[in-house]
């Protein structure tokens, strides 16, 4: 308990020191010497292992990593038109049974409906599904008379979907068939392969349509959803650190560098992001240690970047 109270008091002292940086003398003028000292303290403030443990501080080393360079574009997730099947009645007759509730999944060969035609001595016909799929539309009801060729249900197989991306012509030089593409929809990210590049430019949007096939065996990806596409252009070795080390601040990001028991706030310029890592273009050096957990607590204590003033 005593160690905890000491830690809390230390936090209070640090917070007070950060606030005193902005304090003015009774005459209303800023005391330059104390202000400079406060800036030095908060630019490279420190506290011991016990305090670091109390706030759950965690760190990581800034190091070279291989990331995949990508071109990010808006996208849509659409059903594959070739996987849509309409099941029609082969003969005229009464619909005596219907085994196709909307939204249900039918396997290939499953009985969709049973038709009975009194002109054929009451013979019944089993109408079977030619393929597996989800029932997305039903056009008849039990007890209804239908003519030959009448659509009974529509089935869509969502086991493979299309990711549709639209790029401007000047971006096509870096895009080829067979290129991998990552699609992010909400918390879900899946990878597909470019299978189609349109030979024409849309007169409405002045863009070129790109399609990538996306395996969707579990059905976790929903058709007709908006997504974010990342066309993989190649691999690149860059300086990187975990994304959790970065804190957004106005129009840039900051990170806290750990030097022993001291911490220094840095403004950083970032680049590509992948698998929880972010490229560091400036602000950090290879081998430096950055705070990945507890950085917000340091920020709230008033640690400031070198040269930063009110």
DSSP string, 157-191: --SEEEEEEEE-GGGGGG--TT-EEEEEETTEEEE
Q: Residue 24: what pLDDT?
A: 41
Q: What is the C-alpha to C-alpha distance for residues 290 and 293, in angstroms, rounded to an integer?
A: 9
Residues of each domain in the chain carrying CATH 2.40.30.170: 69-80+159-235
CB atoms within 10 A of CB 27: 7
Distances (CA, A) of 304 to 20, 162, 226, 286: 13, 48, 40, 21
- The class that CATH gives domain 69-80+159-235 is mainly beta
Phi, psi of 280 (to 5 degrees): -110, 115
pLDDT attached to residue 236: 84
Listed in order, the ranges of the chain carrying CATH 2.40.420.20 are 2-66+237-300
Question: In terms of Cα–Cα distance, which of 131, 195, 183 is closest to 157?
Answer: 131
pTM of the model: 0.58
Predicted confidence at residue 141, as pLDDT, reads 95
Measured distance CA(77)–CA(55) in Å, rounded? 43
CATH number of 83-156: 2.40.50.100
Which pLDDT value is given to residue 307?
A: 40
Q: How far apart are CA 271 and CA 24, in angstroms?
A: 40
- pLDDT score recorded for residue 39: 35
d(CA 12, CA 4): 12
- CATH number of the structural domain 2-66+237-300: 2.40.420.20
CATH 2.40.50.100 domain residues, the chain: 83-156
Along the 310 residues of the chain, how does pLDDT read in single tens digits? 444 344 433 444 344 344 444 444 444 444 443 333 333 333 445 666 766 676 678 889 999 998 878 888 999 999 998 999 999 999 999 999 999 999 999 999 999 999 998 887 778 999 999 999 999 999 999 999 999 999 999 999 999 999 999 999 988 888 999 999 999 998 898 999 999 999 999 999 999 999 999 999 888 899 999 999 999 888 888 899 999 999 888 888 999 998 887 888 899 999 888 888 998 999 999 999 999 987 777 777 665 444 443 4
**Which residue's entry shows tokens 């040269």?**
307
The separation between the first and the last C-alpha atoms of the chain, rounded to the nearest angstrom, is 37
Residue-level pLDDT at 8: 39
Distance CA 10, CA 15 (A): 9
Helix axes 32-43 and 2-20, enclosed angle (nearest 10): 130
On whether the CB atoms of residues 293 and 258 are closer than 8 A, the answer is: no
Question: Tokens 């991998």 label which residue?
Answer: 180
CA-closest candidate to residue 65, choices 274, 229, 258, 233? 274
In this structure, the number of other CB atoms found within 10 A of the CB of residue 229 comes to 24
Contact (CB, 8 A) for 183 and 214: yes
């Amino acid at each position: 308990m005593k160690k905890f109270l000491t830690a809390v008091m230390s936090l209070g002292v640090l917070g007070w020191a950060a606030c005193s940086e902005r304090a003015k003398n009774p005459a209303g003028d800023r005391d330059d010497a104390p202000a400079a000292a406060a800036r030095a303290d908060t630019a490279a403030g420190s506290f011991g292992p016990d305090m670091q443990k109390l706030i759950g501080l965690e760190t990581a080393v800034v190091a070279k990593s291989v990331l995949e360079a990508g071109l990010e574009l808006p996208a849509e997730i659409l059903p594959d038109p070739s996987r849509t099947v309409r099941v029609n009645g082969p003969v005229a007759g009464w619909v005596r049974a219907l085994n196709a509730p909307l939204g249900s999944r039918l396997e290939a060969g499953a009985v969709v409906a049973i038709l009975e035609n009194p002109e054929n001595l009451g013979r019944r016909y089993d109408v079977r599904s030619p393929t597996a799929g989800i029932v997305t539309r039903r056009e008849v009801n039990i007890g209804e008379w239908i003519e030959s060729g009448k659509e009974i249900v529509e089935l869509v197989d969502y086991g493979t979907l299309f990711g549709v991306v639209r790029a401007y012509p000047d971006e096509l030089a870096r895009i080829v068939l067979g290129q991998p593409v990552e699609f992010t929809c909400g918390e879900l990210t899946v990878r597909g392969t470019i299978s189609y590049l349109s030979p024409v430019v849309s007169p409405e949007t002045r863009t070129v349509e790109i399609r990538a096939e996306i395996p969707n065996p579990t059905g976790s990806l929903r058709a007709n959803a908006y997504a974010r596409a990342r066309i993989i252009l190649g691999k690149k070795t860059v300086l990187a650190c975990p994304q959790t080390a970065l804190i957004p601040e106005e129009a840039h990001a900051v990170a806290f560098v750990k030097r022993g028991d001291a911490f220094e706030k840095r403004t950083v310029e970032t680049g590509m992001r992948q698998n929880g890592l972010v490229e560091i273009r400036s602000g950090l050096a290879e081998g430096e240690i950055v705070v990945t957990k507890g950085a917000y607590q340091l920020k709230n204590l008033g640690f400031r970047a070198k040269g930063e003033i009110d």
